[in-house]
A and B are shown apart, each in its own frame.
Chain A
Amino acid sequence: MTTARAAAIVLTKELRMEFRARELLSTTVVFALVIVVLFSFAFDPTAGESRRYGPGLLWIAFLFAGSLMLNPSFAREQANQTLDALRMAPVSPFAILLGKMLANFIFMAVSEAILVPVFAVLYNISIGGIVGRLALVLALGTVGLVVAGTVFSAIAAHARMRELLLPLLLLPILAPLLIAAVEATASLFAEQPALDRAWLAFLAGFDIVFLTASWLLCDFLLEE
């Protein structure tokens, strides 16, 4: 079986699980919403202030939500030793990892699609003219978040206190991604929206480095 086909099967399985349980998406969206609301008390959300703090707040909300949402990705395979069953399948370990990454990407993307309009309304930022470009920045940033997050979810699943450990491992590693994503988003939220190509390239570079590293290391990551 090709890696792509196997990854698609894992992806379908993850989506079906989420469709039946509907617990991951709802909690993620509400959690991110809580952060956005709390920030409105910490900073005065007038239009000028929002332009300044908005991009950072949006990405902090996504990163925090992601670091919580990615935890069950491998942790719930532990409950009934289903990861062992997955590993026994005659497919490359990268296919399992890739399938989970794709599923997590979809979950994050859906959460962001719900959250961004709410954020725009609450913080008085008009996103009408920049939807396409904003989607590109969000997608590139989310790929990096999901790639690193899925790998670290597999690491944390074997440790004690994994719920606390995953944000601890993930958030500092994502510091460069946060800077790049915030700057790219800020250039879109400016009075004269423009796409900052340097930061976009940086985000793409981050994604490529982490995806390549996880491809190289996945055999060790998923070994018994």
Chain B
Amino acid sequence: MKGRSAITAAVAALIFFAGYAALFIAPDESTMHEIQRVFYFHLASWMAMFTALSLAFVANVAWLVTRKPHWDWLGVSCVEVGVVSCTAGLITGVLWGRPAWGIWWTWDARLTTAFILWILYICYLLLRGLIEEPQRRASLSAIFGVFAFLDAPLVYASNRLWRTQHPAPVIFGGENSGLDPTMGKVLVVCIVAVMAMMVLVLIDRYRLERMRHDLDELRLSVDARGVASNTVLTKGLP
């Protein structure tokens, strides 16, 4: 337990340092100035979301194939963490969009895909809340998870074909693209910090799901025993 507190404290410190680095260490951006500093956490949130949801897809498929309950726990944990990262990405994006583009929101391919994904995975969580039986909940939500993940590239492609405003990749794009070396370092720190936080939350969420499962099992066994003793009682009566 002590080790876990130490790790949590270390991740918290890392997040604080990343925030400090993004705000004070990173150099001023030439056209957007201060507001560009939101970018470090914006990109890091999207990478966390992408990682979490990809992992959720793997967990969903693995549950369907193997039927090992820990895949189900991993699936729901990943989706929850992914939805939170997605929310962070959307909020930072909206905050950045207003000064940079002059509008809060635009229905561009990347934004729309993120938004639809956010809705789809919230629906995944809603669906889980509405199915009682654990086995069935795991299977049906895994199937929906697979469909949602498959839908993402289709949403992206359809919007790409249709209309797009989000800047093309600036960092790894073409010859004139690239990032100031200090900015690059700050970005790496932010990504590592957000990823570390994501993993930490994911592990805790996974443990919570396992405890819930254990609790359900205990309840069921207690109920079963209760029913058994009841029958004994009724049999014992004249």
**Can you name 11 A-B residue pairings with CB atoms under 8 Å?**
A155-B143, A155-B144, A158-B140, A159-B131, A173-B120, A173-B147, A175-B116, A180-B158, A202-B158, A205-B154, A217-B143
Complex Cα distance, B161 from A198, in Å, reads 9
| A interface residue numbers (CB < 8 A to B) | 148, 151-152, 155, 158-161, 165, 168-169, 172-173, 175-176, 179-180, 183, 198-199, 202, 205-206, 209-210, 213, 217, 220-221, 223
Please tell me if B108 contacts chain A, counting CB pairs below 8 Å.
Answer: no
- Do B154 and A209 touch across chains, with their CB atoms under 8 A apart? yes
Whether a CB of chain A sits under 8 angstroms from the CB of B47 is no
* Contact indicator B123/A220 (Cβ below 8 Å): no
Of A158, A172, A209, A217, the contact of B119 (CB 8 Å cutoff) = A172
In the complex, B159 has a CB within 8 A of chain A: yes
Contacts of A220 on B, CB cut-off 8 Å? Answer: 64, 139, 142-143
Q: Tally of A-B residue pairs with Cβ under 8 A?
A: 78
Write out the residue numbers on chain B whose beta carbons fall within 8 Å of the beta carbon of A168: 123, 126
Q: Are A213 and B150 in contact (CB under 8 A)?
A: yes
Inter-subunit contact B147/A151 (CB<8 Å): yes
Q: Is the interface of A mostly helix, strand, loop or mixed?
A: helix
- Pairs A-B, 8 closest by C-beta atoms: A176-B158, A159-B130, A176-B154, A179-B158, A160-B130, A172-B119, A155-B140, A159-B131
- B148 on interface, CB distance cutoff 8 Å: yes
A224 to chain B, nearest CB (A): 9
Interface centre among B133, B154, B159 (most CB of A within 10 A): B154
CA distance A217 to B147 in the complex (A): 10
Give chain B nearest CB distance to A204 CB in angstroms: 12
Given A180-B158, A202-B158, A172-B123 contact (CB < 8 Å):
yes
Q: Is the CB of A169 within 8 A of B123?
A: yes
Nearest Cβ on chain A to B75's Cβ, whole angstroms: 13
**Complex: chain A residue closest to B63, CB-CB:** A220
User: Given A169-B123, A176-B151: A158 and B131 within 8 A (CB)?
Assistant: yes
CB-CB under 8 A for A155 and B146, given A173-B151, A206-B154, A220-B64:
no
Q: Which residues of B contact A202 (CB under 8 A)?
A: 157-158, 161
Complex Cα gap A203–B171 (Å): 33
